[in-house]
Structure 1
Amino acid sequence: MKEELLINNQDTIVALATPQGVGAIAVIRLSGKDCIDIVNKVFKGKDLTQQESHTIHFGTLRDGDKIIDEVLVSLFIAPKSFTKENSIEISCHGSQFIIKQIIQLLCKNGARLARAGEFTKRAFMNGQFDLAQAEAVADLIHSDSEASHQAALNQMRGGFSNEIKKLREQLIHFASMIELELDFVEEDVEFASREDLEKLINKLQHVIKALIKSFDLGNVIKNGVPTVIAGKPNAGKSTLLNALLNEDRAIVSNIAGTTRDIIEDEINIEGVSFRFIDTAGIRETSDTVEAIGVERTHAKMKEASLILYLFDLAEDNILDINREINRLENLGVPFLKIANKTDIAQPELKEALGKMEDVLYISAGKGENIELLKNKLLEQVNLDKVKRGDTIVTNVRHYESLVQTRDSLQDVLNGLAMGITNDFLALDIRHALHHLGEITGEITNDDLLANIFSKFCIGK
């Protein structure tokens, strides 16, 4: 915190914007009121101080008479830049030696190294966008699927922020009327209709609860769907994992208990990441190592967003299958019932299963119905909201603020029902406004900002 306070936000900052490592080109960014003058000192070409914004200039960077590199300099004059400050991007050759030489040269001439996320923090501080949109920049950079990319893009373009601002504006109006009533308490004047306030709070609660509920989907989109493959030993769990991944990721053997630890891997199915977790077979065992694996299986099942319960049509019986299904239902985690080894199935077991709903029949070894299984997996994730561009909460900080807002609004409703005095009613409304304001940055503090932007990469 003290270090943060010592940082001068008027400094010109510099950082490598492209990934570390040798490449064809690298991009070095600068931002700050003096950045054009600083680069102009070491740039041999056109006078950058006399050029227009959004222009690119070829020349050389020199330390005295020594040429460091031939570069392209992109010029962005305030406020027409990402940070709303004077900004420059230098495209140079991707040698680590050259990059180091250029950054050292710029620092020697008045720039300083940027902190993690400092470019985006300056954009936020200068009003380029709000805090929720700034966080979406980081989500966009780290998006690794179509769904996470679309959700981050919608948020960065202000979809979520606009929802919050609408809610806050409506609440501010009533808050100001109630605050005004406090100045006329002796005259017993009512500026804000309690009936209208109750209607508004109920309306806001409906929207906020929908946003809170959307976090289940948002968390899945952002972090992937943790999907446990569970079942008895030799049910074909490892074979199914290999079939889904289309590679030999897990050891397959006809010896029961081959998988003794957790094996994880990830695939992308039509824009959604699924993190598949192959587990030890569920059974009673005297083998110490296998028993630890079974214990881990149960732990992973409790943490999962989805369970693929796999049973063996060649070996299992209907009583054991029904018993495991009852356990899964009591666990409360969504699951799919998958009957494996259709090619060698017991006829009587298939007949008994005919009365059971929603059973998917596959042969993991032969790759039969694997694509159908993938479609079933996608059905568990409601992507229609993403495709429509609906507002989806993906950030746990936003989720927690919304929950606190919901609770504060419930306090308002309880207060209205109890007929509490205006000063207490105004206090509950202010709490709700505070929590909404935390999301977009109207209400914030240095510790919160430092924590958020420290998670960004340097150069962004």
Structure 2
Amino acid sequence: MLPPSLSDTIVALSTPPGAGAIALVRLSGPQAISITDGVFIGKRLRDQAGHTLHYGTIREGERIIDEVVVSLYRSPHSYTREDVVEISAHGSDYIVQELLSLFVRRGARLAEAGEFTKRAFLHGAFDLAQAEAVADLIASDSQLSHQVAMRQMRGGFSQELKELRSRLIHFAALLELELDFGEEDVEFADRTGLVALLQEVQGLVRRLLRSFALGNVIKHGVTSVIAGRPNAGKSTLLNALLNEERAIVSDIAGTTRDLIEDEVSIDGIRFRFVDTAGLRDTTDVVESIGVERTLKRVQQAALVLYLFDITNTTPQQLEAEIEVLHAPAGVPVLAVGNKLDVASDAELSSFQHRPSTVLIAASRGDGLDELRETLLALVRGEGLDRTGSSTIVTNVRHARSLEQALQHLDAVVLGLEAGTGTELLAADLRHALAALGQITGEISNDDLLTSIFTQFCIGK
């Protein structure tokens, strides 16, 4: 018998609200076809094959609400694995509300947030990690975030986790068997083989966890603060990176008083560049507020570009100025020397071999390609397959579950080395398996599902 929520037929608008050319109203559930049949004037839907389109009108009594095209999908060959009807109507708010009200009066109920995808998960269309990737795919705003979400939605991450769990389950079963024969002091699980397997699994889990830093960047972008003294060329650099005149450029020091932000995609990764007020001691009240905001924004940055004028800065001054930034630990600070085109050979040689330094001429665009490559290398860290075929963790919930799994795997390894009893080993191994299972939904609870699917839009 189906749970009460699955025995209902649900309805929702699946296109964005507001006036438009087309609005798509979706019904899913046991009565989706019969409810629509009761108001659709055209072919009798219950006699039609799935994956077919039908033109007609939606009426209530003699009143025509709209001319529509109905898409018919029969269970289990639909997104939710239930009978699904999708009605393409004219994109009027009035028409949409009339259709929704009509279907509710005929026996459907309004869908909850993410309920269509939740039903697909509950019916086994895909696992929980794939379901969450659906939301990531909808939210993707760069080529790389789209590639990563698409790969996860198609089961790449899930398959890797499934293989990890299946290998651990075999040994867990042998440990559980030992517990059944505890009084006979027998060992079914090869301890040496278990240690080797656990070390391999630990390595894979650590790799996935390391990928989360990059995954978070792919999903949310990189906030990159451009800091430096007045007239270093920060606004010129921002305009060059964005390829537009976004910030005012002037020879007058202190022109930029407030933060100017904009985004650009570099090789599929979204960077949000922040042009800031020049760092210097000033008696100007407004400018001093801008300097305070700059230092505060540095504390919130994922990456800092410290821009300096090659022609009037020494290496010692550069080090002292970067120190003043007090960038948070772990945040990369890239020194960018500007005015390459007018610097002398002696001035250039002072910085050419300094680590984490790129030399450019922002006004002419010289060195910008090298700067972009350096930015990508800093963000990618250990590297990324640009085709998007590498498994990358982008979800905070997944990262926390992997951390829990690794913690229990570490405990099992330490226990094996210390000769810990089988019961404790088995308990830690069960916890590790449970943590991995929570990612794909093999182990889940109603609160977890509610938390995940309420973040979806209503019609998905």
> Under a length normalisation based on structure 1, what TM-score does the superposition of the two structures give?
0.93
**Distance verdict in 2 for CA 1:140–1:172, change over 3 Å:** same
Deviation at 1:327, TM superposition (A): 6.7
Quote the Cα distance in structure 2 between the aligned partners of 1:354 and 1:69: 70
Aligned partner of 1:54 in structure 2 is 51
Asked if 1:187 is matched to 2:184, the reply is yes
CA offsets 1:368-421 (integer angstroms, 9 cap, x no match): 333443333333344642415011101111011101110110011111122122
**Distance verdict in 2 for CA 1:354–1:154, change over 3 Å:** closer
Aligned partner of 1:399 in structure 2 is 399
Mapped contact 1:302–1:331 kept (Cα < 8 A)? no
Q: Which moved more, 1:110-119 or 1:272-281?
A: 272-281
Quote the Cα distance in structure 2 between the aligned partners of 1:142 and 1:330: 29
SS at match of 2:385: helix
Asked if 1:87 is matched to 2:84, the reply is yes
1:66-145 map, 5 Å:
66-145=63-142
SS at match of 1:387: coil
> Under a length normalisation based on structure 2, what TM-score does the superposition of the two structures give?
0.93
Mapped contact 2:236–2:247 kept (Cα < 8 A)? yes
Unpaired runs of at least 5, structure 2: none
Mapped contact 1:211–1:393 kept (Cα < 8 A)? yes
Asked if 1:276 is matched to 2:277, the reply is no
Deviation at 1:70, TM superposition (A): 0.9
1:149-298 map, 5 Å:
149-298=146-295
Amino acid at match of 2:172: A
1:243-392 map, 5 Å:
243-324=240-321, 331-345=329-343, 348-357=346-355, 359-382=357-380, 384-387=384-387, 389-392=389-392
Deviation at 1:268, TM superposition (A): 1.3
Mapped contact 1:150–1:386 kept (Cα < 8 A)? no
Aligned partner of 2:458 in structure 1 is 458
Aligned partner of 1:3 in structure 2 is none
Q: Which moved more, 1:351-360 or 1:392-401?
A: 351-360
Quote the Cα distance in structure 1 between the aligned partners of 2:16 and 2:241: 32
Aligned pair count reads: 455
**Distance verdict in 2 for CA 1:33–1:391, change over 3 Å:** same
Quote the Cα distance in structure 1 between the aligned partners of 2:196 and 2:366: 55
SS at match of 2:21: strand
Deviation at 1:325, TM superposition (A): 5.0
Amino acid at match of 1:363: A
Q: Tell me how large the CA RMSD over aligned residues is.
A: 2.1
SS at match of 1:458: coil
Aligned partner of 2:418 in structure 1 is 418
Mapped contact 1:151–1:386 kept (Cα < 8 A)? no
Aligned partner of 1:11 in structure 2 is 8
Q: Which moved more, 1:370-379 or 1:445-454?
A: 370-379
SS at match of 2:281: coil
Quote the Cα distance in structure 2 between the aligned partners of 1:360 and 1:270: 19
Unpaired runs of at least 5, structure 1: 1-5
SS at match of 1:68: strand
Quote the Cα distance in structure 2 between the aligned partners of 1:318 and 1:272: 31
Amino acid at match of 1:368: D
Q: Which moved more, 1:203-212 or 1:91-100?
A: 91-100
SS at match of 1:380: helix
Amino acid at match of 1:443: I
**Distance verdict in 2 for CA 1:428–1:331, change over 3 Å:** closer
Quote the Cα distance in structure 2 between the aligned partners of 1:27 and 1:206: 46
Deviation at 1:239, TM superposition (A): 1.8
Q: Percent of counterpart pairs with the same letter? A: 56
SS at match of 2:442: coil
Quote the Cα distance in structure 1 between the aligned partners of 2:4 and 2:262: 42
**Distance verdict in 2 for CA 1:355–1:151, change over 3 Å:** closer
Mapped contact 1:233–1:282 kept (Cα < 8 A)? yes
Q: Which moved more, 1:241-250 or 1:216-225?
A: 241-250
Deviation at 1:351, TM superposition (A): 4.0
SS at match of 2:5: coil
Mapped contact 2:68–2:87 kept (Cα < 8 A)? yes
Quote the Cα distance in structure 1 between the aligned partners of 2:328 and 2:265: 30
SS at match of 1:336: strand
Quote the Cα distance in structure 1 between the aligned partners of 2:349 and 2:430: 63
CA offsets 1:158-212 (integer angstroms, 9 cap, x no match): 0000111111111111111111111111111211122221111111101000000
Q: Which moved more, 1:338-347 or 1:446-455?
A: 338-347
Q: Which moved more, 1:318-327 or 1:416-425?
A: 318-327
Quote the Cα distance in structure 2 between the aligned partners of 1:306 and 1:44: 60
Deviation at 1:221, TM superposition (A): 0.9
**Distance verdict in 2 for CA 1:351–1:170, change over 3 Å:** closer
Amino acid at match of 1:48: L
Quote the Cα distance in structure 1 between the aligned partners of 2:358 and 2:207: 32
Amino acid at match of 1:453: F
